[in-house]
Amino acid sequence: MASLGAILRHPDDFYPLLKLKIAARNIEKQIPSEPHWGFCYTMLHKVSRSFALVIQQLGPDLRNAVCIFYLVLRALDTVEDDTSIATDVKVPILIDFYRHIYDRDWHFPCGTKDYKVLMDQFHQVSTAFLELEKTYQEAIEDITKRMGAGMAKFICKEVETVDDYDEYCHYVAGLVGLGLSKLFHSSGLEDLAPDSLSNSMGLFLQKTNIIRDYLEDINEIPKSRMFWPRQIWSKYVNKLEDMKYEENSIKAVQCLNDMVTNALIHAEDCLKYMAALRDSAIFRFCAIPQIMAIGTLALCYNNIEVFRGVVKMRRGLTAKVIDRTKTVADVYGAFFDFACMLESKVGKNDPNATKTLTRLEAIQKTCRESGLLSKRKSYILNNENGSTMIIILVIIVSIIFAYLAANRQK
């Protein structure tokens, strides 16, 4: 849970944070008893707590399929990300990974921490995969095969142009969007979405992560991971790693803003995709990460801290997104508000200011034309001074927790 100081600064965060904490504990209690399914859901919670929360929106059969889909692709991604694996070893594994998911005995030691556990015990994932319905298995196999081949291609190829960037993001994330659309369709709950919209759902998330994770990727040991396209960064610096140095701060931020502007091109497709969803659980599952993405872009834009450390939404705002995203009106409202926040940060001297503003205006126009902005209560742009009663409540709860903890020690 967030610190007491953070809650006092944003007292309206308290109740959503409390609900999030309770939901996280309930997830731990609901882990299946079968060893392989227990492993899968435990591992899902460890490698992505936010995804583990969001996936709970789904019904049991679809939830199991999405859980395994996520873990299979996370394992594939672990192989790709491990820079200590020699290329001649890594490429065949990536290409053949779709075959390994049918092998109950296959595993491959790589990765670190929880990802190492996932890879060492991948047979648990395969066992669960083989219990899924055939249509789910076929969708997961197809996407895994295509993604592995795409990853292998970019092991031996630099991301030079914006087209390369889009292609790489398609392989590692756009295909996830296509795969999820197939799983939703196989469940009988949704029509099959157009590939172009499914692809944009993945690209919007992936490009946000690539922007946010600049410093982590560039400092990767033993070898840097470079996903920002040369066509963009070469306009500002001689080497991609130069942006982490203080003397290049101005150019680094201009490049960052260029990257954010590139990501925004997918926002309207994402809104179209989500507006077409019929099932409320699938809608929430899709909508929450997309709102988090545009919120993260708004925080990253014009922010030198991207090159100094980690930039992410505060936990309380994340809790609000999870708690209050229930209808398409909530999505239009959040996209509109974050677009306004981002717009307020655009400086007239930025080289891409006109392009950035044009894309933000397009997002805002789509949200206005939905006719739904008046049907939601904004929690993003409100001035959160907070009420005295909420602050008092926080203090009382803190005292109670301290009292109970002291009694336990006695």
Active site residues: 168, 212, 225, 285
Q: Which helix (H) or strand (E) holds 149?
A: helix 134-155
Report the distance separating Cα 22 and Cα 39, nearest Å.
22
- Rounded to 10 deg, the angle between the 267-275 and 280-300 helix axes is 160
Report the distance separating Cα 299 and Cα 316, nearest Å.
15
Angle, vertex CA 49, rays to CA 110 and CA 91, nearest 5: 25
| Nearest CA among 266, 236, 234, 257 for reference residue 248 | 236
For the chain, state the CA radius of gyration.
22
| Alpha-carbon distances of 337 from 33, 257, 363, rounded to whole Å | 43, 19, 10
Chain-centroid distance of CA 286 in Å reads 10
Residue with tokens 């460890």, as numbered in its chain: 46
* Residue 132, amino acid: L
Report the distance separating Cα 271 and Cα 277, nearest Å.
10
Q: Per the structure block, which two tokens stand in for 99?
A: 């075959």
